Structure 1
Amino acid sequence: MTRTIRPDAVLVQAVIAGALSFAHLHDIASAAGQDGWKAWAYPISVDLLLVAAWRRLRTARRDRAAWTWFVIALFASLGANIATAGLLDLTQVPAWLRILVAGWPALAFMGGTLLVHSPADAPAPAPAASDPVSDVPAATEVEMSREDEPPPAPAPELPAADPVPFVSAPNVPPALLDHARKIADTHRVTTGAPMAPDALRARLGLPAPMAAAIATELQLT
């Protein structure tokens, strides 16, 4: 039985794009002074960092470090493609580009190390689903235990509380009431406000029940 080989258009397009990007990175590195095998190592370094960041994003979509290094590697690849499109004179590479190319190995090594050794966010464990079959016997046992329990004993009757005796207000002598009225009237004329019961009690020096009865008679409350 023979199998027919069908070329995948997406795979072919990926191979072409990877080869062109690889060549552009090689040309930039070579123009920046990295000749020989070093110029071929730069494209490999960029592509490996891009793949490592993408693999990390597949398991942790919200990982900021993975997104950061993915964008850095993507900009390095796109920058090389754009720079070799005629926008940059490869015979006179600016100093800032030489600095970037020379510092890329250390940057790529740090990014790859952080992506590999940084712990990923572990997914939250799913709550264990309760087994409805196992819940039925438990509920039945609770009902049976409640049926076997003896009825609660009636609460003991508390003795009736003794009625509180009614205490009548003390009788206020008329002379004391007139004296208190004069004091309250003088206070009203002097201050323009009625006299407080506590102030009247302190002025007369009487016990609280007697002072309360006088305040009631004088309508101070």
Structure 2
Amino acid sequence: MRPALRPDAVLVQAVIAGALSFAHLHDLAAAAGQSGWKAWAYPISVDLLLVAAWRRLRSDGPSRLAWCWFLVALVASLGANVATAGFLDLANPPALLRLGVAGWPALAFLGGTLLAHSPTPAGDRVPVPPAPAAPAPAPEEQPEPASSSAPEREALSAADDTPALPVATPEPAPTPAVSVPAALVDHARKVAADHEARTGDRIDVDTLRARLGVPAPMADAIAAQLD
């Protein structure tokens, strides 16, 4: 199903502006002595040069050549709009205006030829990012080695049938004896005697460790020497 045409404000504005500029260029050419079909050819030449320069900018990127001829055509179009607004006496146009209108065909032909056939200089081209490198080929898988021969398979089967020997459980290493200084043993005897005199009971290991402020292994070694 074809889409229905919808009015576009920007398109309508462009058509109106183009028609007015076309008419102003025609009136200026006619005032400069170009009559008949020649007066109508001038606005077509200006607009075509403007479109050609804009197309070169869009297709090949920014360049000094395209910008130069785009500005030339734009100045010609704007100059016609301003000149026909009452700033010049079109009944008696100045000689400079007649000279510009008469020389425009050669200037437009030169610009159109350069835009159509001149390559974009390397310095004016927009750099194009390089294409991504192709992925490296995946390494080929190496073939697996051939299976073992029949005698080797039998030897492996016989080794698998052999009963496994019991694994010996390692015995825990003996705890090294804690060396206790003699002076600490004498001090511990005094603490034990004092505790027994006050409470009537022999001092236990936890109380001895708390009174002496020693670790548990050393407290056990001191208590063994007090017996």
Is 1:117 matched with 2:117? yes
Shift of 1:2: 8.2
d(CA) in 2 for partners of 1:28, 1:45: 14
Q: How many residues align?
A: 138
Shift of 1:59: 1.9
Shift of 1:60: 2.6
User: Residue 64 of structure 2 aligns with which residue?
Assistant: 64
Shift of 1:63: 1.2
Is 1:126 matched with 2:126? no
User: 1:7-44: per-residue Cα shift (whole Å, max 9, x none)?
Assistant: 11111111100000000000000000001100000000
User: 1:138-168: per-residue Cα shift (whole Å, max 9, x none)?
Assistant: 8x99xxxxxxxxxxxxxxxxxxxxxxxxxxx
Shift of 1:4: 3.9
Give 1:74's aligned amino acid: L
Percent identity over the alignment is: 70
User: Residue 25 of structure 1 aligns with which residue?
Assistant: 25
d(CA) in 2 for partners of 1:53, 1:2: 33
User: Residue 152 of structure 1 aligns with which residue?
Assistant: none
d(CA) in 2 for partners of 1:29, 1:84: 11
**1:3-42 to 2 correspondence within 5 Å?**
4-42=4-42
User: 1:59-86: per-residue Cα shift (whole Å, max 9, x none)?
Assistant: 2333111000000000000000011111
Distance 1:125 1:23, change over 3 A: same
d(CA) in 1 for partners of 2:52, 2:27: 23
Give 1:129's aligned amino acid: A
Give 1:68's aligned amino acid: C
Shift of 1:6: 1.7
Shift of 1:124: 4.4
Say which SS state the counterpart of residue 137 (structure 1) adopts. Answer: coil
Structure 2 stretches lacking a partner, 5+ long: 143-227
Give 2:85's aligned amino acid: A
Give 1:137's aligned amino acid: P
Is 1:86 matched with 2:86? yes
Is 1:137 matched with 2:153? no
d(CA) in 1 for partners of 2:75, 2:129: 37
Shift of 1:127: 3.8
Rg larger for: 2
**1:170-189 to 2 correspondence within 5 Å?**
none
Structure 1 stretches lacking a partner, 5+ long: 142-221
User: Residue 216 of structure 2 aligns with which residue?
Assistant: none
d(CA) in 1 for partners of 2:52, 2:2: 37
Shift of 1:90: 0.4
d(CA) in 2 for partners of 1:101, 1:3: 44
d(CA) in 2 for partners of 1:35, 1:78: 21
User: Residue 195 of structure 1 aligns with which residue?
Assistant: none
Q: CA RMSD in A?
A: 2.3
